[in-house]
């Protein structure tokens, strides 16, 4: 972000990234519990404590490197919340709902960060001495919107093991879903190839920008 040194940039992004990844995983576990599977709850994964969800590589190393290298593109992941398929009351249908819960939580958080930005914009007018706090709040709100929308759109891609693949597998006929899920061992490598070639950014940018503009419009910031 303009005018911020690397340490300040890292500080602005750290909280939104941790919240985005943590709440995303908790939403999966919470939905699974509502649909009959208490596995995540039993393992303590319905906690908002980020430590319970952090993956050293996906939550710390990858986002940190992308941020410090100034790539302009940030993504990451947490430890997946364990789901016991057989505990769900209607496994195929319920796995679709469990999968959608994570990206849905990111959309809600993007809206909440928009409210933070709106507050930061009006705060100096209400209390002029608060200008020192308004700028970092504005930057953090902007970061929160972007990271949540990126995670939402990324996870909705129909690429195993992303959430979008769980949705598609739940909608496909059984034999087709089985064949489709056989792609999963190669999913991470496909994702890394998309990142390395720049194709992932081109895929994600149009929907992320469109939803971001809609949020700004609805919150009267554009």
- d(C-alpha 80, C-alpha 67), whole Å: 23
H/E run at residue 106: helix 91-126
- Which tokens go with 192? 């890394």
CA 163 to each of CA 34, 70, 90, 156: distance values in angstroms, whole numbers, following the listed order:
18, 27, 18, 6
Q: Which of 25, 37, 94, 163 is catalytic?
A: 25
- d(C-alpha 95, C-alpha 221), whole Å: 36
- Which tokens go with 63? 């986002």
Concerning whether 25 is annotated as a catalytic residue, the answer is yes
Contacts of 166 (CB under 8 A, 6+ apart): 95, 96, 98, 99
Catalytic residue numbers, as ranges:
25
């Amino acid at each position: 972000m303009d005018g911020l040194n690397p340490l300040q940039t890292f500080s602005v992004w750290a909280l939104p990234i941790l919240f985005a990844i943590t709440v995303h995983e908790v939403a999966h576990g919470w939905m699974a519990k509502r649909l009959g599977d208490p596995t995540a709850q039993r393992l303590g994964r319905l906690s908002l404590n980020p430590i319970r969800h952090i993956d050293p590589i996906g939550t710390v190393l990858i986002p940190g490197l992308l941020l410090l290298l100034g790539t302009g593109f940030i993504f990451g992941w947490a430890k997946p919340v364990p789901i016991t398929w057989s505990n769900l009351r209607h496994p195929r249908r319920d796995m679709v709902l469990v999968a959608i819960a994570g990206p849905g939580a990111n959309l809600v958080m993007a809206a909440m960060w928009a409210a933070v930005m709106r507050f930061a914009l009006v705060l100096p007018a209400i209390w002029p001495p608060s200008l020192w706090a308004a700028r970092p709040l504005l930057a953090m709100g902007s970061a929160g919107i972007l990271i949540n929308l990126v995670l939402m759109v990324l996870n909705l891609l129909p690429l195993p093991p992303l959430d979008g693949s769980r949705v598609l597998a739940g909608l496909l006929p059984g034999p087709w879903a089985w064949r489709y899920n056989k792609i999963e061992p190669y999913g991470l490598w496909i994702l890394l190839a998309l990142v390395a070639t720049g194709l992932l950014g081109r895929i994600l940018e149009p929907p992320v920008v469109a939803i971001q503009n809609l949020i700004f419009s609805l919150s009267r910031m554009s």
